[in-house]
Chains A and B, each alone.
Chain A
Amino acid sequence: MAPALQASGIVKRYGPLLANDGIDLDVARGEVHAVMGENGAGKSTLMSILYGMQAPDGGTIRLDGVAVRFRSPAEAIAHGLGMVHQAFKLFSSLTVWENIVYGREPRRGPFIDGAAARRAAVALAERYGLAVDPGALVARLSVGVRQRVEILKALYREARVLILDEPTAVLTPPERDVLFAVLRRLVVDGRSVIFVTHKLDEVLAISDRVTVLRAGRVAARMTTRETSAREIVRAMTGRVVADRPDRVSMPQGAALLHAEAITVRGDGRVLVADANLSVNGGEVVGIAGVAGNGQTELVEALVGLRAVASGRVQVNGRDVTQSDVAARREAGLAYIPEDRAAVGTAPTASAADNLAMGFHRRPPLRRGWKLDGTAVRDWARRLIARFDIRIGSERTPVATLSGGNMQKVVLARELSHAAPVLIAEQPTRGLDVGAAEFVHGELLAERARGRAVLLVSAELSEVMALSDRVLVMFGGRIIADLPAAQADEERLGLLMAGRPGVAA
Chain B
Amino acid sequence: MSLPPRVPSVVLAVGFAVVAGAVLVAASGGDPLAAYWQIAVGALAPDNLPNTLNWAVPLTGMALAVAIPLRGGMVNLGGDGQLVLGGLVAALVPLYLPLPGVLSMFAAILAAALVAGLYAALAAWGEVRHGVPMLISSLLLSYPAMGLASYLSGFPLRDRSSGLPQTVMIPPDARLPPLGDVLNVGAFAILVIAIAVVVFDRRSVVGYELRLRGLNPRFARYGGIALGRQAVATMFASGGIAGLTGATIVLGAQFRFTDGALVTPNYTWSGLMAALLAGGEPVGTIGAALFFAALQTGGFAMQRETAVPRVLTMVLQALVILFLAARHGLRRRAAP
Contacts and interface: CB of A to CB of B under 8 A. Distances in A.
Q: Do A and B come from one complex?
A: yes
Interface of A: 303, 305, 324-326, 329-330, 335, 337, 342-350, 352-353, 356-358, 360-361, 366, 369-371, 373, 376, 395
Contacts of A352: 1
B209 interface: yes
Given A324-B224, A342-B218, 7 more contacts: A342-B216, A346-B216, A349-B212, A353-B208, A371-B203, A376-B1, A395-B1
Contacts of A346: 212, 215-216, 219-220
A115 to B, nearest CB: 32
Contacts of B206: 369
B219 to A, nearest CB: 5
A348 B218 contact: no
Nearest to B200: A369
Interface in B1-59: 1, 3
Given A346-B216, A353-B1, A360-B209, A370 B204 contact: yes
Nearest to A337: B222
Nearest to B3: A348
Given A343-B219, A346-B219, A358-B223, A373 B212 contact: no
7 A-B pairs with least C-beta separation: A326-B224, A346-B216, A357-B223, A346-B215, A346-B219, A325-B224, A349-B215
B34 to A, nearest CB: 44
B328 interface: no
Contact of A371 (B208, B225, B226): B208
A373 B1 contact: yes
B226 A343 contact: no
Interface in B158-206: 203-206
B304 interface: no
Contacts of A329: 224
Interface of B: 1, 3, 203-209, 211-212, 215-216, 218-226
Nearest to B203: A370
A356 B224 CA distance: 12
Contacts of B211: 349, 353
A329 B224 CA distance: 7
Contacts of B212: 346, 349, 353, 357
Contacts of A369: 204-206
A141 B243 CA distance: 51
B277 to A, nearest CB: 19
B1 A366 contact: no
- Central interface residue in B1, B207, B220, B226, by most chain A CB within 10 Å: B1
A349 B216 contact: yes
Nearest to B228: A324
Contact of A325 (B3, B209, B222): B222
Please classify the interface of chain A as helix (H, G, I), strand (E, B), loop, or mixed, using the class held by over half of its residues: mixed
B1 A326 contact: no
Contacts of B221: 305, 325
A344 B1 contact: no
A106 B206 CA distance: 55
B222 A335 contact: yes
A343 B216 CA distance: 8
Contacts of A361: 205
Given A356-B208, A357-B212, A371-B205, A305 B1 contact: no
Given A349-B216, A361-B205, A373-B203, A343 B3 contact: no
Contact of B219 (A357, A360, A373): A357
A456 to B, nearest CB: 15
A343 B217 CA distance: 9
23 contacts: A303-B222, A324-B224, A324-B226, A325-B221, A325-B223, A325-B226, A326-B225, A335-B222, A337-B222, A343-B218, A343-B222, A345-B219, A346-B215, A349-B216, A350-B1, A352-B1, A357-B212, A357-B223, A361-B205, A369-B205, A369-B206, A370-B205, A371-B205
Given A325-B221, A343-B222, A353-B1, A366 B205 contact: yes
Contacts of B223: 325, 357-358
B186 to A, nearest CB: 26
A325 B219 CA distance: 12
Nearest to B217: A346
Given A369-B204, A371-B203, A371-B204, A344 B219 contact: yes
B219 A326 contact: no
B167 to A, nearest CB: 38
Contacts of B219: 343-346, 357
Nearest to B207: A371
- Central interface residue in A335, A337, A357, by most chain B CB within 10 Å: A357
Contacts of B218: 342-343
Contacts of B204: 369-371
Contacts of A348: 3, 215-216
Contacts of B216: 342, 345-349
A325 B215 CA distance: 19
B225 to A, nearest CB: 7
A344 B221 CA distance: 10
- Central interface residue in B209, B211, B220, B225, by most chain A CB within 10 Å: B225
- Central interface residue in A343, A345, A346, A353, by most chain B CB within 10 Å: A346
Contact of A305 (B203, B208, B222, B226): B222
Nearest to B222: A343
Given A325-B221, A325-B222, A360 B205 contact: yes
B207 to A, nearest CB: 8
Nearest to A366: B205
B224 A358 contact: yes
A196 to B, nearest CB: 19
- Central interface residue in B3, B207, B211, B223, by most chain A CB within 10 Å: B223
A362 B141 CA distance: 38
A99 B225 CA distance: 38
Contacts of A373: 1, 203
A461 B223 CA distance: 30
Contacts of A353: 1, 208, 211-212
Contacts of A347: 216
